[in-house]
Amino acid sequence: MIQAEAKRVKGYYYWIALVVFIIDQVTKKIIATQLELAEQIPVIGNFFIITSHRNPGAAFGILKEQTTLFIVVTLLVVAGIIWYIQKNRHSGNTMLLAALGLVLGGAFGNFLDRALYGEVVDFLQFNFGSYTFPIFNVADMGIVIGVGLILLDTILDMKNDYNKTKQDGAAANDETERNADTDESVR
């Protein structure tokens, strides 16, 4: 049902990208304008906190101050995703196209921040005891969920290919046995 609905909405993968991008930009703007840097609002005790943080690097703060590198790499990734979506838009593979839409929206959201400000606004903080998971944003969620769905789609495709190969092998064995039975009856 969902897959049929998604096929009816032309370019749904671009709509997904747009929704992720808009939610990401709106939430970042709220955080940047309403909270002081490092200000925190506890949501669920010390476990989940909204905080105002800036990340001049990539995921987990690696490669700080490499804005030009990130902009070039992101432009290549965005171009690659758009090319792949266009190439596969009629494939009927809803999960893959939706996943690519999530990654596209997230990549573009973080790209815009880096291009305009040289850093990304992060604000979702989770603490597990004394461990603080790296602070992230909606764009990061789109990218991670999208990549997870791409991996799931790949695993499901591999499983389907394996089952098809197994069925084809069984069908070939049945055909061989029928041919052998026919040969014996002719003798």
Whose tokens are 């925190």? That residue is: 40
- Tell me: the pLDDT tens digits for 78-129? 999 999 999 999 998 999 999 999 999 999 999 999 999 989 999 999 999 9
Catalytic residue among 24, 113, 122, 153: 122
Q: How confident is the model at residue 152 (pLDDT cuts 50, 70, 90)?
A: very high
Using pLDDT thresholds of 50, 70 and 90, give the confidence band for residue 2. low
Q: Would residue 161 show up in a list of annotated catalytic residues for this protein?
A: no
Please state whether beta strands 40-44 and 48-55 pair in parallel, antiparallel, or not at all (unpaired).
antiparallel
Sole residue written with tokens 């893959």: 96
Please say if 140 is a catalytic residue.
yes
Interaxial angle between packed helices 138-186 and 12-34, expressed in degrees from 0 to 180 and rounded to the nearest 10: 160
Within 10 Å of residue 158's Cβ, how many Cβ atoms?
10
Mean pLDDT of 1-21: 79
Determine which one of 140, 153, 157, 161 is catalytic. 140
pLDDT digits (tens, 9 = 90+) for 16-55: 999 999 999 999 999 999 999 999 999 999 999 999 999 9
Supply the pTM of this predicted model: 0.82
In eight-state DSSP terms, residue 59 is G
